[in-house]
Amino acid sequence: MSSLVLGFQEIEKSQHMLIGGKGQNLGKLAKMQGIQVPDGFCVTTTAYQRVIEQNKTFQALLDQLTILKAKDRDQLGEISRKMRQLLMEAEIPSDVEKTITHYLSQFGNHHAYSVRSSATAEDLPYASFAGQHDTYLNIIGKDTILQHIKKCWASLFTERAIIYRIQNRMDHRQVYLSVIVQRMVFPQASGIIFTADPITSSRKLLSIDASFGLGEALVSGMVTADCYKVKENKIVDKRISAKKWAVYGRKEGGTETVPVNQQQQRTQTLTDQQIIQLARIGRQIEAYFGYPQDIEWCLVDDTFYIVQSRPITTLFPIPEANDQENRVYVSVGHQQMMTSPLKPLGLSFHLLITPAPMRKAGGWLYVDVTPMLSSPDSRNRLLTTMEQHDPLMKDALTAVIERGDFIQSLPHDPKAPSQSRNHTDSPEEIEINPAIVHELIQRSQASIEALKQNIQTKSGSDLFDFILEDIKELKKILFDPQSTAVFMSAIHATHWINEKMYEWLGEKNAADTLSQSVPNNITSEMGLALLDVADVIRPYPEVIEFLQQVKDDSFLDELVPFDGGRAAQDAIIDYLNQYGMRCPGEIDITNTRWSEKPLTLVPMILSNIKNFEPDAGKRKFKQGKQEALKKAQELLDRLKPLPEGEQKARDTRRMIDRIRNFIGYREYPKYGMINRYFVYKQALLKEAEQLVHAGLIHEKEDIYYLTFEEFHAAVRTKKLDNEVIHKRKDDYKGYEKLTPPRVITSEGEIMTGTYKREHLPAEAMAGLPVSSGVIEGRARVILHMEEAELEEGDILVTSLYKC
Per-residue pLDDT at 203 exceeds 90: yes
* CA nearest to 129, candidates 315, 288, 310: 310
pLDDT of residue 777: 77
Question: Mean pLDDT throughout 240-268?
Answer: 94
Which residues fall within 8 angstroms of residue 570, CB to CB, at 6 or more apart? none
Identify the sign of the CA torsion 398, 404, 406, 412: positive
Residue 541: CB atoms within 10 A of its CB come to 12
Max intra-chain CA distance, the chain: 101
**Cα–Cα–Cα angle for 754, 759, 765, nearest 5°?**
55
pLDDT the model gives residue 423: 47
Burial grade of 66 (CB within 10 A; 0-12, 13-18, 19 or more): exposed
Q: What is the pLDDT of residue 802?
A: 38
pLDDT band at 404 (very low <50, low <70, confident <90, very high): confident
* Mean of pLDDT over the chain: 91
- Report pLDDT digits (tens) over 350-365: 999 999 999 999 999 9
Measured in Å, how far apart are the chain's first and last C-alpha atoms? 56
Residue, of 2 and 661, whose pLDDT is higher: 661
pLDDT tens for 429-446 read 668 999 999 999 999 999
Residue-level pLDDT at 706: 98
Residue 795 pLDDT level (bands cut at 50, 70, 90): confident
pLDDT in tens, 681-739: 999 999 999 999 999 999 999 999 999 999 999 999 999 999 999 999 989 988 998 99
Strands 795-797 and 779-781: parallel
Dump strand ranges (E) for 599-749: 743-745
Closest CA relative to residue 576, chosen from 549, 545, 605: 605
pLDDT band of 786, cuts 50, 70, 90 = low
Mean pLDDT of 325-349: 92
| pLDDT for 646 | 96
Segment 22-32 mean pLDDT? 95
Sign of CA dihedral 126, 132, 134, 138: positive
The DSSP bridge pattern shows strands 743-745 and 328-331 to be antiparallel
List beta partners, residue 189. 212, 299
Q: Which residues pair with 259 in a beta bridge?
A: 245
pLDDT at 640: 96
The one-letter amino acid code at 217 reads: A
Number of helices (H), then strands (E), belonging to the chain: the values are 29, 20
pLDDT exceeds cutoff 50 at 632: yes
pLDDT at 501 over 50: yes
Supply the pLDDT for residue 770. 62
Question: According to the model, what pLDDT value does residue 425 have?
Answer: 53
Angle, in degrees to the nearest 10, between helices 94-107 and 142-155: 120
pLDDT at 83 over 60: yes
Between β-strands 177-183 and 135-140, what pairing exists: parallel, antiparallel or unpaired? Answer: unpaired
The reported pLDDT for the residue numbered 682 is: 97
Predicted confidence at residue 644, as pLDDT, reads 96
What is the per-residue pLDDT across 98-138, written as a single tens digit (0 to 9) for each?
999 999 999 988 899 999 999 887 645 545 455 567 899 99
Sign of the CA dihedral 544, 548, 549, 552? positive
Indicate the DSSP class of residue 701: G
Q: How far apart are CA 196 and CA 205, in angstroms?
A: 6
3-state secondary structure of 485: helix
Alpha carbon of 570 to those of 45, 368, 594, 602: distances in Å? 57, 47, 15, 14
Distance of CA 452 to the CA centre of its chain: 34
